[in-house]
Amino acid sequence: MVYDVSKLTDFHYSALKEISNIGIGNAATSLATMLGSEVKVMTPDLKVARIEEVAEFSGGADKLVSGVLMKLSGCVKGYMVMLLPPESAKLICNTITKEQDSDIKNPMNESLISEVGHILGSTYMTAFSDFLKIDVFASAPFHTYDMIGAIMDNILIQMSQEVEHAIILDTLFTLKGNDMHGKLLTLFDPISLELILEQVNALFR
């Protein structure tokens, strides 16, 4: 039986947000270490959306971003996606390479952005997995600079064959004042949610 996402209680919402908060907190610390600069994170948002609506929720289907995607495997099936507006991707590259005007389409910088996404995603998932005591692994990162809709639709197509809804943990982080901002999205399906909620219940009750 697939968990009915409409039956998520306030308690579950808060618990999931809190776990996500720990994850993004750890991820921000590793990014800050890497960049030598303070990273701020917003309280995560949790959304349940029909698969067809996810691209719009992620910031607009035709908006251009640097996207890094990782597939989750283990007890939880899903994806992590880091979305960076081009100017933020450039700022990250400038900070790391000490260049003035990094070209984000240069292969070196693409792999740099990819690694940033990987570090953020895997630190986040490690925290998530340690806290809930379930095994989750993030795959190697895949990077592309394109429209959000195009980056997301492959994932959504894969998910849509199994489930109708996606659970999205949406976290925003900012760097250097507010000059750089990015999004880290965690998508998982209602089947994985069931397991996560069992662990939440076991830990909190």
Partner 1 sequence: MIVIGMADYAVTRSPEKLTTLGLGSCVGIALYDPVTKIGGLIHIMLPTIENARFTDNCAKFADSGIPYLIEQMIGIGAVRRRLVAKIAGGAKMFSFNSDASMNIGERNIQATKVVLSEMKVPIISEDVGKNYGRTVVLDTDTGVYYVKSAIKGENVI
- Beta strands 78-84; 180-188: pairing state: antiparallel
Q: Which is nearer to partner 1, 61 or 172 (CB)?
A: 61
Beta strands (DSSP E) in 5-54 are 39-41, 45-50
Q: What's the token pair of residue 77?
A: 């099936």
Q: Which is nearer to partner 1, 95 or 158 (CB)?
A: 158
Which residues of this protein are in contact with partner 1, per CB under 8 A? Answer: 51-53, 55-56, 60-62, 64, 69, 71, 139, 142, 144-154, 156-158, 160-162, 164
What's the min distance (Å) between Cβ of 18 and partner 1?
A: 31
Cα distance between residue 24 and residue 115, in whole Å: 16
Q: Which is nearer to partner 1, 127 or 152 (CB)?
A: 152
What's the min distance (Å) between Cβ of 14 and partner 1?
A: 29
Residues 68 and 118 sit within 8 Å (Cβ to Cβ): yes
Q: Which is nearer to partner 1, 120 or 151 (CB)?
A: 151
Residue indicated by tokens 């998932």: 125
Q: What's the token pair of residue 94?
A: 């400038």
What's the min distance (Å) between Cβ of 200 and partner 1?
A: 27
What's the min distance (Å) between Cβ of 29 and partner 1?
A: 28
